[in-house]
Structure 1
């Protein structure tokens, strides 16, 4: 009996040992599996991280390319701009590494290589004829002229190769600029009475970008306003153009906002004049353009009164109260539901100003026109100036391009000094007709 018990005990010890060994074996298998899984996850994470680094490097190259393509003659870093003059060369391309101040390398050591070229198309399926450059104006158009009617800027293909220590990513992007259609009808365009005073000169003959006569030959009026409004010359004021003065514009189609002056509607308006896209947006801060090393460039959008720049600048200068609407501000009891301003005029009972009497907006400071007033300077501005109201330009400033005012009941006063407004289609094309890039397509190779 004792021997039998000892045998059973021995068998149990052996069985326990086998169970323990099997358990340890399973733990070993599980541990090895977890190790390999963790190692695989780490490798995947590492590869994803490396891929992300090279992807972000490629996107950095795209950002630099877009920034350089957006540069124009109005930018102080104009030497870093890249563009192809009309007629477009189907073989045009640009290696970003040859550009001034090329970045190319990020702080973490990653780098990018970028090439830009025109998008081309075989428009006639004939291999013996040259391809044409594709242009964009809310759709593709092949074109060899610039800018042809209804067509826009060339479509650019950006190929950016991003490199990290262990990875490489290629991003290909198609972009183009949205062209402006500026509504300029003279050296000075207005929707009200215009007084040209003193030794002021408004010259609608076409000038080059330096203010010399003999630009592209696109002569226009010196001063042009809407029908029913007078143009008064006082003192020794001079007005030249074809014709010198004209008051035949249709007030019903005259632009009521900077967006309309620039020919922008819908999304394109926000693309251009969104505060984030302007070089400066906000009320006059007491320093912008005031001869302190901060000249006006690109798009400057002043949301209140502004005395005008006192140092040389260029681009588009807008002096406009966003709450100012000529239809509302200038509405009177003569407006009824047949008037084009009826939807927004005070006579509409839905408007809170309806019960305030005739021209109620004249007493509402929040909707007053922004004024370019007492513009005393000897500086030169190249491009386009748009103001709600112009009230006296003194000193000897020179505007090469054009000026447009929006208000229809306030007299626009130009003069008292020796200022010149010299129409220049070249200045408008180079400094004012800038376009922000629109992404058309994107893919990663």
Structure 2
């Protein structure tokens, strides 16, 4: 017999329909998810900030290293008698090196390539051979240190060309004109460098510091030397007149004492015209076709090195530089407004250094110039009457159209060397160096 049982449905509750605590669990899960997302966001933000900070300090350190390179190139210009000069006191020494430091806590262990076999000077304002560790930089707001030394044969790349005229196993590599007749710039070694024609190639290592970042840069730097000096007077075409003109190609006493070579008195490319009986003196040749020298190329190369720019003609009896300060005087004569004939007129001038003229230059009145005169156009000397015009060094122009009156031009390699001392250094090999 079937028995019917009545069951109250409200008393039967499925566990799946028990909603007590579900909201709490959901909230906890949501909080956990949000916490994870927040943690990931914080980690990502922190990482990004660290990356950004590291990038910023790395870039700052790199720029500091570049600043060190620029200071070194600047302090290689000039001569050992100049304050803060950081170059090698002549005669050059293959074991020379110098440091520029922006902080006095630097130690030799700071340099991973420190070599005790080098001189390792720390040149100060008044002493190029100081060896005491002191802050000797001209910069105090940026942190870097720099090492400078001469390039040597061991620093040459496997396929790098050079002419070996030295005698040592690891001679200094020079850059310039290897002989008194050479018109091609090249790398070479030599036992008797003529510093009016060449200079050592310098290896500069600079390390910039910012926070925990250290960035290094290595460069090779060579001096801009200007045109090859193959004669006391050079022009594509040269015209000399009168009997009071004297051109001497034999080197002056200073250069002769150093064993430097004598030159042709007058060198030309296309023509030489002589009127009267000028005195031309040379142990090589009075006149010679020496080929073409493109004065425009060298004026353009030297222009960025200028220390004085003439925008108008200087007053009569003006003096440029002095015996201990050789200037690089530049004038674009084609841009002069008064006069506007493309000619720079120089009257009664005394000068020390290099005069570079884009256009023509004319000298009248008395003249005493120690160093180089280079022009892309015509060069004229007119030392008539009681006026005497003297050049101690050399003269180059596209055309030397007139030497007339009392004009004396004496080749002097030592004056040219002094004039070249202020020429800038160019970077021609560059690479990052990882500090490790």
Shorter-chain TM-score range: 0.5 to 0.7
Match of 2:330 among 284, 300, 308: 300
Equivalent residue for 2:375? 386
The residue matched to 2:237 in structure 1 has which SS? coil
Equivalent residue for 2:128? none
The one-character-per-residue Cα deviations of 1:73-126 (angstroms, maximum 9, x if unpaired) are 5x995762513645x53211122353345435443xx32111111233459xxx
Equivalent residue for 2:113? none
**Mapping for residues 399-414 of structure 1, pairs under 5 Å:** 399-407=391-399, 411-414=401-404
Conservation of the 8 A alpha-carbon contact between 2:295 and 2:374:
no
Assess, with a 3 A threshold, how the Cα gap between structure 1 residues 145 and 307 changes in structure 2: closer, same or farther: same
Unaligned runs of 5+ in 2: 1-7, 102-121, 126-135, 156-167, 177-183, 335-342
Conservation of the 8 A alpha-carbon contact between 2:262 and 2:284:
no
Equivalent residue for 2:85? 80
**Mapping for residues 392-431 of structure 1, pairs under 5 Å:** 392-394=381-383, 395-407=387-399, 411-415=401-405, 419-431=407-419
Return the offset for 1:205.
3.4
The structure with the larger Rg is: 2
The residue matched to 1:439 in structure 2 has which SS? strand
Return the offset for 1:164.
2.7
Assess, with a 3 A threshold, how the Cα gap between structure 1 residues 184 and 72 changes in structure 2: closer, same or farther: farther
Equivalent residue for 1:55? 62
Return the offset for 1:28.
0.9
Give yes or no for the alignment of 1:205 onto 2:205. no
Equivalent residue for 1:92? 96
Equivalent residue for 1:257? 295
In structure 2, what is the Cα distance between the partners aligned to 1:379 and 1:181? Answer: 21
Assess, with a 3 A threshold, how the Cα gap between structure 1 residues 152 and 184 changes in structure 2: closer, same or farther: closer
Greater RCO (CA < 8 Å, at least 6 residues apart): 1
Equivalent residue for 1:117? 149
Give yes or no for the alignment of 1:314 onto 2:352. yes
Return the offset for 1:40.
1.5
Equivalent residue for 2:170? 131
User: Where is the helix percentage greater, Structure 1 or Structure 2?
Assistant: 1
Assess, with a 3 A threshold, how the Cα gap between structure 1 residues 115 and 80 changes in structure 2: closer, same or farther: same
Give yes or no for the alignment of 1:21 onto 2:28. yes
Conservation of the 8 A alpha-carbon contact between 1:59 and 1:160:
yes
Structure 1 length as normaliser, TM-score? 0.65
CA RMSD in angstroms comes to 4.4
**Mapping for residues 30-49 of structure 1, pairs under 5 Å:** 30-49=37-56
The one-character-per-residue Cα deviations of 1:7-41 (angstroms, maximum 9, x if unpaired) are 99983352222112211110011101111111121
In structure 1, what is the Cα distance between the partners aligned to 2:31 and 2:99? Answer: 63
Give yes or no for the alignment of 1:285 onto 2:285. no
Query: How many residue pairs end up in the alignment?
Result: 361
